[in-house]
């Protein structure tokens, strides 16, 4: 019998995504794996147990994890889940390791080989494995949909016999994958779009989508991108100049969507309380970075709040999970593509090549040790299990009830944050 891959149902009540699809289950079985999918794992993504079974999977229980050689997840395993894994199992997920040293130490102690998918390098070979891009793309789309739902006017300009409805002015702050998709989606809906970013390379991309680019284009701006394509943290002086430039612009906007994230650091503050106060009643701000501290002063994780001057600030958690069916299909393909690189085609078993650049970039723990150089001190930090996220947090202060909270008796120790979507 071949090795076993286990697909659990996520414990977090606010995580509807699943780490496999019928397509990837079929392909995993084709590689020689026995695939066990926990009962109900795909329901939040509109995938039934029967669909997984038809694809070649076996429907099991959480207890089947103890015999699994590979565990594919969406979120980092909790302490309770780690106790159910066998030593040496490969666990692949969005591990959210920054600021979570105790969790890394716990994974090392459990003896698992943990891979963090958000560390996948930005190289041609790894494009199909890039979970940040696949999930951020959907987050950018959903941000515009959420903004349109909260905005009480039409987005496109409409010229009628009764008069003209002006197009909504939309400002995208942060032009990564999420920002680019937000621009494209807002443009499709007929909004007039401007965008800003600290990286000069994105100016042409913004303009190619039909939006206008806004930035302080000084010498610091010209060098504001890492070798990996991410934004660098800008100096306080630059941030002040950029804030002055955008303050007047924001006051004229109907919709603002912020997506700026810096790997391993808190999200930069882009929109101050004064800027929010300058906006018109009925304006909407969507903060996609709210789980990393937020880009917007006054944003509250998991809530839609209305300020004294009538501006709505949207702080939904797990935005890719709000389009879970699509997000799971893409995420499952990301995981399959990565796992396939570690399978020996002759023996049809897992054969991790520890000198492979993808493995070195993503492996967090191995053989009881924390092996990723960025987290060398994590083993010294005592483990404290995070508190559970209330199942109703996503619908506080808003009538929108997506994703639907799911109750589960065992869900006592959820991992609190999905990976950065922007």
| Percentage of residues of the chain with pLDDT beyond 90 | 77
Catalytic annotation, pick one of 122, 383, 406, 408 = 122
Of residues 341, 323, 340, 339, the one with CA closest to residue 421: 323
CA angle, 144 as apex, 142 and 148 as ends, to 5°? 115
Structure tokens at 242: 């950029």
In the chain, domain spans: 4-129+324-387, 139-321
* Separation of alpha carbons 280 and 407, rounded Å: 39
- 139-321 and 4-129+324-387 share a CATH fold: yes
Contact status, residue 325 vs residue 317, Cβ threshold 8 Å:
no
Contact status, residue 275 vs residue 285, Cβ threshold 8 Å:
no
Q: Active site includes 230?
A: yes
Q: Distance from first CA to last CA of the chain, Å, rounded? A: 41
Contact status, residue 401 vs residue 308, Cβ threshold 8 Å:
no
Structure tokens at 167: 């197009």
Catalytic annotation, pick one of 50, 87, 127, 207 = 127
* Separation of alpha carbons 168 and 192, rounded Å: 6
In this model, does residue 212 exceed pLDDT 80?
A: yes
pLDDT tens sequence across 56-88: 999 999 999 999 999 999 999 999 999 999 999
Catalytic annotation, pick one of 130, 146, 254, 287 = 130
For the chain, the three-class secondary structure string (H helix, E strand, C coil) is CCCEEEECCCCCCCCCCCCCCHHHHHHHHHCCCEEEEECCCCHHHCCCHHHHHHCCCEEECHHHHHHCCEEEEEECCCHHHHHCCCCCCEEEEECCCCCCHHHHHHHHHHCCEEEEHHHCCCCHHHHHHCHHHHHHHHHHHHHHHHHHHHCCCCCCCEEECCEEECCCEEEEECCCHHHHHHHHHHHHCCCEEEEECCCCCHHHHHHHCCCEECCCCCHHHHCCECCCCCECCCCHHHHHHHHHHHHHHHCCCCEEEECCCCCCCCCCCCECHHHHHHCCCCCEEEECCHHHCCCECCCCCCEEEECCCCCEEECCCCHHHHHHHHHHHHHHHHHHHHHHCCEECCCCEECCCCCCHHHHHHEEEECCEECCHHHCCHHHCCCCCCCCCCCCHHHECCCCCCCCCCCCCCCCCCCCCCCCCC
Residues contacting 373, CB < 8 A, separation 6+ = none
Pick the CATH number of 139-321 from 3.40.50.720, 3.40.50.970, 3.40.50.2300, 3.40.250.10: 3.40.50.720
CB atoms within 10 A of CB 27: 21
pLDDT tens sequence across 334-374: 999 999 999 998 898 999 999 999 999 999 999 999 999 99
Catalytic annotation, pick one of 133, 181, 283, 413 = 133
* Separation of alpha carbons 278 and 311, rounded Å: 10
Mention the CATH class of domain 4-129+324-387.
alpha beta
Structure tokens at 199: 């990286």
Q: Which residue has the higher pLDDT, 33 or 238?
A: 33
Catalytic annotation, pick one of 230, 238, 278, 400 = 230
Q: Active site includes 322?
A: no
Q: Prior bond to 403 cis, omega within 30?
A: yes
* Separation of alpha carbons 399 and 388, rounded Å: 23
Average pLDDT, rounded, for the chain: 89
What residues are paired with 34 via a beta bridge?
4
Of residues 206, 261, 270, the one with CA closest to residue 230: 261
Beta pairing, strands 312-314 & 284-287: parallel
In this model, does residue 315 exceed pLDDT 80?
A: yes
In this model, does residue 387 exceed pLDDT 60?
A: no
pLDDT tens sequence across 49-63: 999 999 999 999 999
In this model, does residue 1 exceed pLDDT 60?
A: no
* Separation of alpha carbons 41 and 411, rounded Å: 14
**pLDDT reported for residue 232:** 64
Q: 394 pLDDT band (50/70/90 cuts)?
A: very low
**pLDDT reported for residue 55:** 98
Contact status, residue 385 vs residue 76, Cβ threshold 8 Å:
no
* Separation of alpha carbons 66 and 64, rounded Å: 5
Q: Active site includes 133?
A: yes
Q: Active site includes 303?
A: no
What pTM was computed for the model?
Answer: 0.85
Of residues 39, 36, 45, the one with CA closest to residue 18: 45
Q: Active site includes 98?
A: no
Q: 227 pLDDT band (50/70/90 cuts)?
A: low
* Separation of alpha carbons 120 and 132, rounded Å: 9
């Amino acid at each position: 019998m071949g090795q076993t891959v286990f697909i659990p149902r996520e414990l977090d009540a606010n995580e509807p995504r699943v780490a496999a699809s019928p397509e990837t289950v079929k392909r995993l079985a084709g590689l020689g794996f026995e695939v066990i999918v926990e009962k109900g794992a795909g329901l939040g993504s509109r995938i039934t147990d029967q669909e997984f079974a038809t694809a070649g999977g076996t429907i099991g229980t959480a207890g089947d994890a103890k015999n699994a050689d590979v565990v594919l997840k969406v979120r980092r395993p909790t302490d309770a889940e780690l106790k159910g894994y066998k030593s040496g199992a490969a666990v692949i997920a969005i591990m959210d390791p920054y600021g979570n040293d105790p969790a890394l130490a716990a994974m090392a102690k459990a003896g698992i080989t943990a891979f963090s998918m958000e560390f996948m390098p930005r190289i041609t070979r790894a494009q199909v494995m890039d979970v940040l891009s696949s999930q951020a793309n959907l987050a950018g789309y959903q941000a515009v949909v959420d903004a349109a739902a909260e905005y009480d006017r039409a987005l496109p300009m409409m010229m009628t016999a009764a008069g003209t409805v002006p197009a909504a002015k939309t400002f995208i702050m942060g032009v990564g994958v999420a920002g680019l998709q937000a621009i494209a989606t807002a443009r499709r809906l007929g909004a007039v779009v401007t965008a800003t970013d600290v990286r000069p390379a994105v100016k042409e991309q913004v303009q190619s989508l039909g939006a206008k680019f806004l930035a302080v284009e000084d010498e610091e701006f010209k060098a504001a991108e890492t070798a990996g394509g991410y934004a660098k943290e800008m100096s306080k002086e630059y941030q002040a100049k950029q804030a002055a430039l955008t303050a007047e612009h924001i006051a004229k906007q109907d919709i603002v969507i912020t997506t700026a994230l810096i790997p391993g650091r808190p999200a930069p503050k882009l929109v101050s309380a004064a800027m929010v106060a300058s906006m018109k009643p009925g304006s909407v701000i969507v903060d996609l970075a709210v789980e990393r501290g937020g880009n917007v002063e006054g944003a509250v994780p998991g809530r839609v709040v209305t300020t004294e001057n009538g501006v709505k600030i949207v702080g939904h958690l797990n935005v890719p999970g709000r389009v879970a069916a699509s997000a799971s299909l893409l995420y499952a393909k990301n995981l399959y593509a990565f796992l396939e690189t570690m399978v020996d085609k002759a023996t049809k078993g897992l054969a991790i090549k520890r000198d492979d650049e993808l493995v070195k970039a993503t492996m967090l723990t191995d053989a009881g040790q924390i092996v990723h150089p960025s987290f060398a001190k994590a083993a010294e930090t005592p483990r404290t299990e995070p508190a559970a996220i209330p199942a109703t947090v996503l619908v506080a202060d808003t009538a929108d009830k997506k994703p639907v909270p799911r109750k589960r008796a065992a869900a006592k120790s959820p991992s609190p944050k999905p990976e950065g979507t922007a």
